[in-house]
């Protein structure tokens, strides 16, 4: 697997990251990122040389099971405290206001 500039642009879009560095004379910024990512992938791909046929896939670095809590309401209403954290004009009628997101 290797990264192309298009892949980099797509990932940047999905992660909502702006890649606005100016490109140097030979290569674009996306190109150099793609190169860096490819180096990392090559390093990681060395793992696939190890035989894992009889090893159960690992789901987590800790070998414990998930702890559970009883179904009880323990959190109070913290709307006032939370809405104090956002700019005054970004709250109305108890709602958080964001740019229109209609489909």
Residue ranges binding another protein (CB under 8 A): 10, 14, 16, 59-62, 64-75, 77-79, 82-83, 92-103
- Given the complex with another protein, which of 43 and 102 has the nearer CB atom? 102
Complex with another protein: residue 23 or 45, whichever CB lies closer: 45
Q: Which residues have C-beta within 8 Å of that of residue 102, sequence separation ≥ 6?
A: none
Q: For another protein, give the closer residue by CB, 20 or 61.
A: 61
- The gap from C-alpha 35 to its chain's centroid, in whole angstroms, comes to 20
Asked if 36 and 7 count as a contact pair (C-beta separation under 8 A), the reply is no
């Amino acid at each position: 697997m290797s990264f192309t500039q298009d892949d980099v642009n797509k990932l940047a879009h999905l992660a909502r990251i702006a890649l606005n560095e100016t490109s140097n004379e030979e290569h674009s910024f996306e190109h150099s990122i793609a190169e860096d990512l490819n180096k990392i992938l090559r390093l990681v791909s060395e793992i696939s040389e190890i035989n894992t046929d009889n090893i159960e896939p690992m789901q987590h670095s800790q070998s414990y099971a998930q702890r559970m809590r009883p179904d009880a309401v323990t959190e109070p209403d913290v709307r006032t405290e939370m809405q104090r954290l956002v700019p005054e004009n970004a709250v109305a009628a108890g709602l958080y206001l964001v740019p229109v997101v209609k489909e």
